[in-house]
Amino acid sequence: MSVLGGMRSVFDTVLDRAVVPGYSSVGYRLRQLGWADDPEPDALKGRTVLVTGANRGIGKAIAAGLARLGATVLLTVRDRESGERAREEIVAADSGADVQVEVCDVSDLGAIRAFAADLTSRVPTLDVLIHNAGVLPATRTETGEGHEVTLATHVLGPVLLTECLLPILARSDDPRVILMSSGGMYTQALPADDPEYRAGRYSGATAYARTKRIQVALTPILARRWAAQHVRVYSMHPGWADTPGVAASLPGFRRLTGPILRTPEQGADTAVWLAATNPAQPTGRFWHDRRPRGEHYLPLTHYDDRDLEVVWRYCAEAIGIENP
Q: Which residues are catalytic?
A: 208
- SS3 assignment, position 88: helix
**Helical H segments across 42-98, by residue range:** 57-68, 80-93
CA neighbours within 13 Å on the CB side: how many for 16?
Answer: 22
How many H-runs (helices) and E-runs (strands) does the chain carry? Answer: 13, 8
Helix (H) or strand (E) holding 20: helix 20-23
DSSP single-letter state for residue 283 = S
Q: Which of 236, 223, 232, 249 is nearest to 295 (CA)?
A: 236
Angle between helices 204-225 and 157-169 (to 10 degrees): 30
Per the CB < 8 A criterion, the answer to whether 212 and 182 are in contact is: yes
| Single-letter amino acid code for the residue at 14 | V
Residue type, 300: L
With H, G, I as helix, E, B as strand and everything else as coil, classify residue 239: coil
Give Cα separations from 45 to 49, 76, 91, 285 (angstroms).
11, 20, 16, 26
